[in-house]
Amino acid sequence: MPSGQTLRQLIKSGAVLGNEDFTRAAEQIIHEEREKHHHLLANDLERILYGARLLPSKSSAERSLPVPRDRERDLPLVELHVPVRSLKDAVLSDVNLAVVEELLLEQNRVDVLASYGLRPLNRLLFCGPPGCGKTLTAEVIALELSLELVIVRFDAVVSSFLGETAANLRKVFDFLSEGHFVALFDEFDAIGKERDDDGEHGELKRVVNSVLQMMDSYRGNSLLVAATNHERMLDRAIWRRFDEVLLFEKPSFEQIRTLFTIKLRGVRHDLPLDDRVFVNEFTEFAHADIERILIRSIKSMVLRGREFLTPDMVMDAKRREESRASIGPR
């Protein structure tokens, strides 16, 4: 059975022709998706088939919601992004992929679950070192569900005024409750630190209490995704508020090979991706580091007028990345 992304691409390609037979076939596909309770996908396929002018998108309507702002500095508390990367762009562990696929299935069958008094997964905690795919996975979920990605700006949320941080968080949760988004709370430890830490002042502990209360009372349709590089700093009560906890780690041997394959689409190369010695040269790097190495090596290939990407170019880029990492924070 074709994936949602495949159906989108198919109908997008055919819609420009304006062929009546194709339109009838596409309408039948949309009807079948609605029968399966895949309403979000069906709405998205209709938007593609008929055009945004004829059928305003849900995300466009939600853009009319006023973005919440910080009263102290008048800064926006969230940023709205249109996702562009899909599940085929993500390199996930088998465990994480299974959770993401389960979430997508449940979100696309909300009505079926509701008929049994059940709610879909909608609160995820992403843990792990930087550059290992936490933000990318949130974007992938948003695109697969045809939703906008909302990134919560903690530089604006956290205020120096007593009680203002909790007030800003309330504005954010109210905004999310009124729309339908995938909301990413990056660096979540900024507002979810362990309350038993003697080094933390009373205001931060009050913020953590507020976060717990808001998550308990939240009943909106938006998906909440919290991400942290310091999961051990989170308050123990925070963990229980999430449906699933996903651990993101540096890529395995097979994941490195997959990452190379994805990032080198359309690039001619003679890299020995079946050679364990070559692939193991990258086991200490995070996903984002490997992507940076490949982009740097591809630029070198282009600028040098070379037809193929060769191992020496990649290894030169790898050495530059190691040099870069050596002067960064420990």
CATH number, domain containing residue 155: 3.40.50.300
Q: Do 129 and 19 share a domain, yes or no? A: no
**d(C-alpha 113, C-alpha 182), whole Å:** 20
* Domain end call among 203, 226, 247: 247
Instruction: With a cut of 70, say whether residue 51 has pLDDT above it.
Output: no
What is the C-alpha separation between 220 and 213, in angstroms, rounded?
14
What CATH number is attached to the domain comprising 285? 1.10.8.60
State the virtual CA torsion across 39, 44, 50, 53 in degrees, nearest 10: 110
Give 78-105 pLDDT, tens digit per residue: 999 989 898 989 999 999 999 999 999 9
Question: Do 78 and 211 fall within a single domain?
Answer: yes
Last residue of a domain, one of 247, 265, 288: 247
Q: Are 82 and 221 in the same domain? A: yes
Whether 140 and 266 share a structural domain: no
- Position with higher pLDDT, 325 vs 141: 141
Q: Which residues form the domain of 171?
A: 62-247
Predicted confidence (pLDDT) per residue in 146-199, tens digit? 899 999 998 889 887 768 889 999 999 999 999 999 999 998 988 877 766 655
Q: Which of 36, 56, 76 is the last residue of a domain?
A: 56
- Please check whether residues 180 and 233 belong to one and the same domain: yes
Answer yes or no: do 129 and 176 share one domain. yes
C-beta separation of 112 from 37 below 8 A:
yes
Q: What is the DSSP string of 150-198?
A: EEE-HHHHS-SSTTHHHHHHHHHHHHHHHS-EEEEETTGGGT-B-TT-T
Residues 114 and 205 in one domain: yes
Query: Is the same domain home to 147 and 116?
Result: yes
State how many domains the chain has: 3
- Give yes or no: residues 93 and 145 share one domain: yes
* Closest residue by Cα to residue 129 from 4, 204, 227, 268: 227
Q: Are residues 119 and 71 in the same domain?
A: yes
What is the pLDDT averaged over residues 275-297? 95
CB-hemisphere CA count at 13 Å for 321?
A: 22
Q: Tell me the per-residue pLDDT of 4-39, one tens digit each, with 9 for 90 and over.
A: 777 877 887 777 666 788 888 888 888 888 777 676
**pTM, full prediction:** 0.79
Q: Specify whether 71 is located in the same domain as 43.
A: no
Q: Which of 57, 220, 275, 250 is nearest to 147 (CA)?
A: 57
In angstroms, rounded to a whole number, what is the distance separating the alpha carbons of residues 209 and 235?
Answer: 10
